[in-house]
Amino acid sequence: MATDMDRLDIAVTFDPQRGYIGTARDLRTPVVALSLGGLRRKVETLMLPDEPDIVLRLDRGARLERDRRRRAVAA
């Protein structure tokens, strides 16, 4: 079970020009990726050799984009 020390909360927003943008106190610069999976992988790579439990906290814009993409795949 992960403790609070092992958890990394990433605040995620979406910019149509750049993609998903993740920020956290433990990251030196914002992380940008075209997908949420790509964002998670980039953060995991940056945090090596640590293996924190990464929690993506999506703001309204990021949630709307995620849901739009899910609907497009389902259609």
Which pLDDT band, with edges at 50, 70 and 90, does 3 fall under? Answer: low
pTM: 0.85
Give residue limits of the domains in the chain.
4-74
Instruction: Kindly tell me if the per-residue pLDDT of 68 is higher than 80.
Output: yes
pLDDT value at residue 39 = 97
Determine the Cα–Cα distance for residues 36 and 15; give it in Å rounded to an integer. 13
pLDDT tens track for 7-62: 899 999 999 999 999 999 989 999 999 999 999 999 999 988 888 899 999 999 99
What is the structure's pLDDT at 48?
A: 84
pLDDT of residue 6: 83
Please give the helix or strand (H or E) that residue 60 lies within, else none.
helix 60-74
